[in-house]
Every structure is written in structure tokens, then in C-alpha cells.
Structure 1
Amino acid sequence: MSVELQTTIAVPSSVSAVSIGSEGSLIVGSADGSVRWYEPPSTKVVKAIKPIGEEIASMAWLPPKKAESPTLWVASGRRVLCFALDSHKMISTAQDAVAVLDIGEDDDDVLNELNLSENGKCLAFGSDSGAVGIVDLASTVTTRMKNRHTTICGSVKFIPDRPSEIVSGGYDSAVLHFDIGQGNILSRYDITTPTPSEGATVSLSPPFVHSLSMSTTGLIVIGTADGRVWLGGGGEKRPDGKKKRSRKWDGLREDDGIWLQVADGPVVSAAFTHANRFLTCSLLGVLAEYSISRDSDGKLSATKNWNASTKALEKVNAMAVDHSRIMVGGFTKDGKGVVEVWQMDGQ
């Protein structure tokens, strides 16, 4: 297995969010509130949205189903805007949005990650107030969970094959698992700073949760500010059939998870590329891929396949992956935006 830098795309403003759209297109959100589409390896902009207000925190892409048009949900400040992507306009503005939802509780309550349910009916969000919520896209009704993080909620994901369950991560070092119908917490995992051991690196950063990713089989990987990831296997649907489906997802069970030290600084993104492989990316642009396995007793382990360092990035803000490519966005030493597209071989 190997990885190679394919394309470097210069963007006028610092890149704050990246997403992969239809047919491998790259969607880039920036700190100035603009959005641009690219078709790598070309570095030419093929479509754009002019600045719509505040920094683009996250984007959620909804592919077309039957007669419906593809849409892009964009988080900017306290608002979520929806754009129809079958528009013939090369350059759109906020006025072209087909829906604008004011979700934040006040001007300081900006939105962070957005995540669409597999059926495309609901949009999950987390915000700076620590709130975790759901938007029903048919009615545009917003529902907040009854409990919240005590500080910023930066990450939220739907659990595969469980449309009524989501998981969120916060800067309070907590991972919360909700039933969205009831709004209640089903389980939680409070992450603590590891005790110093002989020869171990001691991080000065608290274990804030910076990123979450779910595999199609129900594994979870959590990236923290102290350079670690936690791989949780308690909710995995195992092909050996040894584990029956439980009434609720048990992915936060501490006795079926492992910690890995993957970077010297914050892990800004962690993402599954396959059911048994995931990628991590640090704030300073160190990329690494791990393969997951279980021994005869069912105990989890993870083995590093490769690591690489980004070339043009001073700091990384976002990463998006598919089965063969890694899109890493952030800014250069002079503060300009940049995205690197890496190609993975031997997959």
C-alpha cells in the first residue's frame, strides 16, 4: 500500500471545510464564506457560491434520488443554507439558496459539523453552545436533544443502519450517544487524560474530541486534541456472526475499544475508507492509515499501513476521503487556502 500527492489546489481564502460530491468532484468551503467546486486533477473552479456570511464550518452533500435534484447543505455561522446543484448558474449567491434555516440559539452559537442520515431525511448538527440537534428536512423543524455538551460540540454522526441514533463529540472530552426520537442519552464515554507511563509522551493538551467517524459496520473512531484516537468495537456488526444485533448500539463500551497514539498534536480528522481501514490527519498535516483486525478471542487491534506528511499546508482544518483519495484542506504559511489531493494505491 502506498500514497502519493496527486494535485495541489490554491484557494484564495483559508480552507475550512471539504467534501466529496458527485463523480468525485471536490467541494471546498472557505473562511470567507465562499464555496468552490473542482474536478481533480484539474485545479480549475467549475462552480462557486459567493461568500454567504461567516466561515463555512461544514458541508453535507445529498446525492440525487429518483427525480430529486442533488443538494448541498452548508453551515455558516448560526445558519444552514441549502443549494440545489442542478442550477445552470456558474456563480451562485445566498439569494439562490432554496432553504435558509436559522438554527443557532444566538449569534455566538455557531454551527459546527453537519451530517445527513442515510435516507436523506434528517440533518444532524452540533454547535458552540454544546447543543446537539436534528433538522427534519421535509418540515424543516429543528429538535434539540434534552442533554448537551458542557462546551463546544464539534462532531456529530448518524450511526449506520440506525436512523434514530446519533453520536456526538465535544470539547468537554465527552462522546454522547442519543436516541433522537426521545432526545435522551443512551450511552456516553468520558475521555480522560492518560496517566504518564515510562517512556510515554505526555501531552499538555486536554483530550478534547476533534473528530468522529463511523464505519458501515458500526465501528467508531474518535480523534482527540492530545494526538490520540480511540477505536471502539462494541457496536460492530461482525461477519463471523459471533455478535448478535443488540437493541441499541454499544459502540462506546470501554471494554471493547483501544487507544492509539497517532500524532504529536491534535487529530483534526479521522475517517474510515473501508469497513476495516481508517485514516487520521493531524493539525500539522501528518497522515496515517491503519488496518483493523481481531484475534481469535475477538480482541481489537490496529496496525499502521503507512504515514505521510502534507507538502504545502501549514495547518490542516479539514479532510474528506473516499476509497482511493484523500482531500486535505487548510492554509499555507502566508495564510492562503490550499487543498492537497492524495491518491491511495494498493487498496
Structure 2
Amino acid sequence: MTYAPHATIQVPSAVSALSFSPQEVLCVGSDDGSVRWYNLPSTKVSRAIKSLGDEISSIVWSQPKKDHPTSVWVASGPKLFAFPAETQKMIVSAADASCSLLVGEDDEDVLNELSISENGRLLAFGSDSGSVGTIEIPTQKVSRMRASHTTVCGSVKFIPDRPSELLSGGYDSALLHFDIGQGNILSRLDISAPPPTQGVSLSPPFVLSVSISPLGLLAASTADGRVWLGGGGEKRPNSSQGNKKKRSRKWEGLKEDEGFWMQVADGPVVSTVFRDAERLVTCSLLGAIAEYKISRNPEGTLQPEKTWSSSTLHLEKVDAMAATQAWLVVGGFAKDGKGVVEVWRDEGNVQPVT
């Protein structure tokens, strides 16, 4: 698959979060606490949230339901806000939020990634203190896992088709797999740095992003330029019996003997996104983008194939990436420090413009 640049969106402050709604409306959060909506392919702002006071670290959308309108959840500093997705107001503020929660343990305990469960009942979060928790959306009850990371927890994801299991990644170079109801760790993977090459040691293997495909394949990126592909929890056909792999009692995506490392960049890999069950997009801090097709050989071993790569055109540093079937968007800041979102369109065989 190939992507071609479609447009560049400029905003006053560095872009810190990107998210697509279920209807593919693009939401852009900035480090000045503002949020802007765009109905691609138009690059005109359709709606905005005035400054919420702190950097926007994550944006997620609830799934529309018959008795519950869609909401957009925004993490800003230690606080969490919910806004109705549909409103007549062009510009809203914190006063318009349908829900406002102080989730961090103190003012310094900034929230990082948010994740919403498939049934729409739970919202997961990680924070700078290392804690991992969930919020019951109907009751707004906050619960924390019994264990935590020893430093910043930057990534959280629910395990597809397993509503009681949650995965987190931290700057302590650990991936933790939780039973949400019990708050206990079901499995963990502690990541070691590879041996230095030619006397050069890269950054420590802090976990910077976590993505899980619809079938349970894990991709976790690190600050030393690698991506861990964990295949132990992937649902897949069993060719010898003609049926799917037997469902295990718990997700097994952290089993070391069923995963491997890919070196995908020379520096930190800040984002990974599964566009579908087998296509993974990665992006580095300095804007190296690549897509991989993940398949298995006849023996069942995972094998990635790089199908496309390019570089961002206007970004000095990348902080966020999001994708749909039609769009790939990358955000951060330009050389002048102002915010930039690069919008790339899935163009089949059209070559990127440089």
C-alpha cells in the first residue's frame, strides 16, 4: 500500500494527540490545551475546544449507541473531560463538558494514553506516577490496578474480545498484562536493551507505544528504535485442522517464544498503528514512517514485510499518529515550534511527493 501527501494543517501550538471518530472526523489536540475538529478531506476547522489548561495527552471516542450519544473523552494534565460529540456550538470550553474528573493522584500526576473498551463501559488510563486504572463510564467510578509501573505509564490498550484484560507499557521498559476485575498482573514482559553496536549505545528501551490488532497481535515500540511483535495472543486459523487456534484462558501476547524484535528506526519509535489485522504502520520521533504487512509462514512463524516507507515533509519532531482505511495523519511541531499535522491519503500506487 502507498500513501501520498494530501494536505498540511498548521495550528498555533505543538500537536500532542490525534484521534479519529467512528465517522472518521479528525480530532487534533495541542500542548496549549486546545482541541480542533476537521472533516477530511477539508482542512478547515469545524469545531474547537478552548484551552483546557494543560497539554492534551490523549483523545478517544465512545461508540454511538441507541440510548447513549457519542462522547469525546479528552485527557488534559491530571484531568479527564467528556464532551458531547454533536453540538451546535462552534467553540466549547471546560464549562461545556458533560463530565469532568480529577483522575491523577495530584497535580503532577499527568494522564497519558486513554483507551475505551469494546463494550463502551470502561475507559482505561495510564499516568506519570506509573499507575494504571479504569473508569466506569456510567458511574464515573475510578479504580486502579494493584500493581503499577515504577515510572511513567504512557500506553494502555484493552485486549480485543477480552473485556476483562488490559495491557500497559511504561518507561520502566515493562509491558504489564492485567486482569481488570482483580487488578492483578496476569503476565509481564521486561524488555532488555540490545548489546551496543560498534561501541554506540542507543536510548533505553522505554515503551513509547502499544497497539493490538483486531485479532490480538501485539506491537510495542521502544525508545531504542525497535518494535516487539507478540504473536502468542493472536487468533489465527489452524491449517492442519481447518479451524481457529484454541482460545486460551488468558491472552498470551507477551510470551517471548512467540514474538520477536524488529529494528525499524535509528531513534525512538513514538507511534504504532494497526490499520487492520495485518497492516502495521510505525513512525519515529524524527518522522520516518513505514508500513509492514504481518503474515505467517507455513510453520506459523510471524514474518513482517515492509511494503512502504517515507519521511514526514514538514515536521521537526513527531508526537502522535492516527489512521483509518483512507487516511494516515502524523502530528508534532515544525522548526518554528508551531504545530503541524501532515495528512496522507491511501492512494494505492501513487508515489509520495517530496
User: Into which bin does the TM-score normalised by the smaller protein fall?
Assistant: over 0.9
Please name the residue that 2:228 is paired with.
230
Q: Is the 8 A contact 1:83 1:99 kept in 2?
A: yes
Report SS of the residue matched to 2:237.
coil
TM-score, structure 1 as length reference: 0.97
Answering whether residue 195 of structure 2 is matched by residue 195 of structure 1, we say yes
Letter of the 1:73 partner, please give it: W
Q: CA deviation at 1:23?
A: 2.8
The match for 1:174 is 174
Superposed CA offset, 1:107-159 (max 9, x none): 11000000000111000000000000000011111000000000000000000
AA at the equivalent of 1:9: I
SS in 2 for 1:274: coil
Q: Describe the shift of the 1:202–1:232 C-alpha distance in structure 2 as closer, same or farther (beyond 3 A).
A: farther
Q: Does 1:157 pair with 2:157?
A: yes
Q: What residue number does 1:16 align with?
A: 16
1:85 deviation in Å?
1.6
**Whole-angstrom distance in 2 between the partners of 1:24 and 1:115:** 17
CA RMSD of aligned residues (A): 1.3
Give yes or no for the alignment of 1:244 onto 2:246: yes
Distance 2:335 2:286 in 1: 12
Structure 2 residue aligned with 1:333, among 335, 339, 346?
Answer: 335
- Please name the residue that 1:273 is paired with: 275
Q: Shift of the alpha carbon at 1:203?
A: 4.1
Equivalent residue runs for 1:35-74 within 5 Å: 35-74=35-74
Give the count of matched residue pairs: 345
Identity of aligned residues (%): 61
Q: In 2 relative to 1, CA 306–83 (structure 1 residues): closer, same or farther, beyond 3 Å?
A: same
Q: Counterpart in 2 of 1:214?
A: 212
Q: CA deviation at 1:318?
A: 0.4
Q: Report what 2:80 is aligned to.
A: 80
Q: Deviations over 1:315-338 (max 9, x none)?
A: 001001112311111000000101
- Mapped to 1, the partners of 2:288 and 2:134 lie a distance apart of 33
- Displacement of 1:70: 1.3
Instruction: State the shift of 1:255 in Å.
Output: 0.3
1:258–1:301: 8 Å Cα contact kept in structure 2?
no
Is the Cα contact below 8 Å between 2:235 and 2:244 reproduced in 1?
Answer: no
2:97 matches 1:97: yes
Separation in structure 1 between the aligned mates of residue 22 and residue 325 of structure 2, nearest angstrom: 14
3-state SS of 1:95 partner: helix
In the TM superposition, 1:111-190 aligns within 5 A as 111-190=111-190
Please report how far the alpha carbon of residue 41 of structure 1 lies from its aligned counterpart in structure 2 after TM superposition. 2.3
Give the letter for the 1:237 counterpart: K
Q: Distance in 1 between matches of 2:200 and 2:40?
A: 40
The answer to whether the 8 A contact 1:160-1:218 is kept is yes
> Aligned equivalents of 1:36 and 1:251: distance in 2?
35
- Deviation of 1:12 after TM superposition, in Å, equals 1.1
Aligned letter for 2:318?
A: V
- Report how far residue 194 of structure 1 moved: 1.1
| Letter aligned with residue 307 of structure 2 | N
CA deviation after TM superposition for structure 1 residue 204, in Å: 2.1
Q: Note if contact 1:38-1:46 (Cα within 8 Å) is conserved in structure 2.
A: yes
SS at match of 1:323: coil
Residues 276-315 of structure 1, C-alpha deviation per residue, up to 9 Å, x if partnerless? 1100000011100001111111111111001010101110
Shift of 1:343: 1.2
CA drift of 1:69 comes to 1.4
TM-score normalised over the length of structure 2: 0.95
> Which blocks of at least 5 consecutive residues in structure 1 are unaligned?
none
Cα distance in 2 for partners of 1:233, 1:179 equals 19
Structure 2: runs of 5 or more not aligned: 350-354
Distance 2:295 2:177 in 1: 24
Match of 2:297 in 1: 295
Moved more, 337-346 or 254-263: 337-346
Misfit runs of 4+, over 4 Å: none
CA contact 1:114–1:123 (8 Å) conserved in 2: yes
SS of alignment partner, residue 320 of structure 1: strand
Q: What is the Cα deviation at residue 339 of structure 1?
A: 0.4
Contact in 1 for aligned 2:230/2:259 (Cα 8 Å): yes
Within-5 A mapping of 1:298-313: 298-313=300-315
How many angstroms does 1:222 deviate by? 0.3
Contact 1:134 1:142 in 2 (8 A): yes
The structural deviation recorded for 1:246 is 0.3
